[in-house]
Structure 1
């Protein structure tokens, strides 16, 4: 039986706690389905800065490129806020995306029935929500030329340049259309074409690519309107495809619709090894307290099984176990409400493991 190698990068803050939880769940699924999993633990982010003086060691990159999948916790924290820009922990994420050629981030936003009342929106607006945000990952303003603050005519000035090329837009829209074919055949492309030249190229390219998918309905929204519609009428969306910056912002907004950003997984895919991570941050204020929500990372492990190990059965086992655990009323502190049972990171993981059985 083939042995699958998974590189685990805990990162910073709560990263070690939540990745440990996800590995426990992966091991349980592996035992149940007869998978052979081999883990390699590597540093990145602030932990790597402390250990070797850089956020993304070459050995971490090499291990990731040779692995079947990468499971990441989170990076960053106030401890490293004042380091040089090229040494910030977040450079580890950008570096991994570039090295692994991860051009697309898939962020499923789904509200289990048990969490409908945890959302800040009314149940009738949120019940049954199931959308997918497809975010472009390696282009746009995050990777464009930057000018740190310098004096220009006696005034500090800084700049970041948004650049997109047609092939970059085409491949992400193509992926979104293919995802929609397996869902409800609807893609909403989000841009700011009334102001930005890069968005006008984005919209023109989206129209061109979508023509090859006559079974998929393509529509367009300006990013500000999309942000509003996610609150007013979130169930209108099936697949949203957008740029790096807009996708970063909109997916965090959409995550809150589930009641907690701690619930949301993501998959970054491209030409090399795929990377899986929860979309929340490192939460250094609660690190080490045993209260972090591990479900976003556990659900990221489910995506890892589905996309990288071609094990849909394992992914479905995890997702069903998480839904059952929530239906039983167990909640970490971020989701706890009257009538539910507050549990620790460890206890939540144990409940999911019980329901896997």
Structure 2
């Protein structure tokens, strides 16, 4: 029997309640496979700051350092509550970015997937969705504007100023491109390279490296698209995309737009992959306005478990089984209030009940 250690970072807002559903799934996966999961809970985010004075406490770092993978919930507070935390300890700056830097999680996978049967979730017209939406955004995650040098102060004219640097080197670009080309080779062999080379020199370098890397992948068709045009086409013709690759800030914005065309970021799990360790998380925020009410859908949290099973533990078939189980719950007409779109025709259930129904559906599917 193989044993995998997982750091469990429930986080803030709805994080703990959707994480509970992820743990239900992991315990079921254990019971039907020759595997054991050693789950190590640890504080992370705003709740960690109020408990320990740090958003990413030393004890949490130690647990994450020893884990085979990290399963992270949602972090953050509403604007007013965030003011109670020093700027540099607010969850995104004090916890999330340092974790990405510590484990060098340079490749962010965000699947944007909506089968035709669930088209009612999307604000797009059925004729735009067609047979369904199925694309993956690969975002470079530890470079660019978010990780560049930052400076703020008062200039000689007495005016407040801020200076932030967008930095990339060719090695940072090349390694995420290799990930994207490899994924494209397993799918439709088409890669959309998203850039802004008509304005940004960082995109000129990015595109130069794309041309170099593509020489090793002659079977992949590369399509170049400006980031603003990509945003438009995602709304007008999402089926025209399969694998998209882009720098950090472009990926942050377009992947959230991907959640918008699905109808909710609650339908978008993600994987943040490093050379030695990866973490998995929902793409959405902590939704403090509905925290504790038991109405948040755990789909993206459970989907992050599916991605972890496949990408960190090599359990490809069980990951597919889990995706099927989640889709079956929706197909049976069940949803949580936060994703309700069809009024009385939908059967609204709680966060915990949704997790229970995924468990029931997974139990119906034979394990390996």
The 3-state SS of whatever aligns with 1:277 is strand
Name the structure 2 match of 1:249.
253
Structure 1 portions without partners, runs of 5+: none
Structure 2 contact 283–300 (Cα < 8 Å) conserved: yes
CA distance in 1, matches of 2:163, 2:250: 18
Name the structure 1 match of 2:366.
none
CA distance in 2, matches of 1:51, 1:317: 38
Are 2:114 and 1:108 aligned? no
More deviation in 335-344 or 6-15? Answer: 335-344
More deviation in 71-80 or 226-235? Answer: 71-80
What RMSD in Å do the two structures reach over aligned CA positions? 1.2
Name the structure 2 match of 1:352.
358
Alignment of 1:277-288 (within 5 A): 277-288=281-292
Alignment of 1:166-315 (within 5 A): 166-315=170-319
The superposition leaves residues 289-320 of structure 1 with CA deviations (integer Å, 9 ceiling, x where unpaired) of 11111000000000000011110121011100
1:154, distance to aligned residue in structure 2 (A): 2.5
CA distance in 1, matches of 2:208, 2:116: 38
1:328, distance to aligned residue in structure 2 (A): 0.2
Structure 2 portions without partners, runs of 5+: 364-368
1:353, distance to aligned residue in structure 2 (A): 1.0
Alignment of 1:64-213 (within 5 A): 64-78=64-78, 79-90=81-92, 91-126=94-129, 127-213=131-217
The superposition leaves residues 155-204 of structure 1 with CA deviations (integer Å, 9 ceiling, x where unpaired) of 22112211111100011111100000000001111111111111111111
CA distance in 1, matches of 2:348, 2:152: 45
Structure 2 contact 152–160 (Cα < 8 Å) conserved: no
1:30, distance to aligned residue in structure 2 (A): 1.6
CA distance in 2, matches of 1:159, 1:340: 50
Structure 1 contact 266–300 (Cα < 8 Å) conserved: yes
1:152, distance to aligned residue in structure 2 (A): 4.7
Name the structure 2 match of 1:320.
324
1:75, distance to aligned residue in structure 2 (A): 1.0
The 3-state SS of whatever aligns with 2:181 is helix
Structure 1 contact 260–334 (Cα < 8 Å) conserved: no
Rate the CA distance shift 1:157–1:82 in 2: closer, same or farther, 3 A.
Answer: farther
1:234, distance to aligned residue in structure 2 (A): 0.5
CA distance in 1, matches of 2:60, 2:186: 34
Could you tell me the TM-score, scaled by structure 1's length? 0.97
Q: How many residues align?
A: 357
CA distance in 2, matches of 1:130, 1:152: 52
The 3-state SS of whatever aligns with 1:129 is strand
Alignment of 1:3-82 (within 5 A): 3-78=3-78, 79-82=81-84
Q: Which residue of the other structure, out of 325, 330, 333, is the alignment partner of 2:334? A: 330
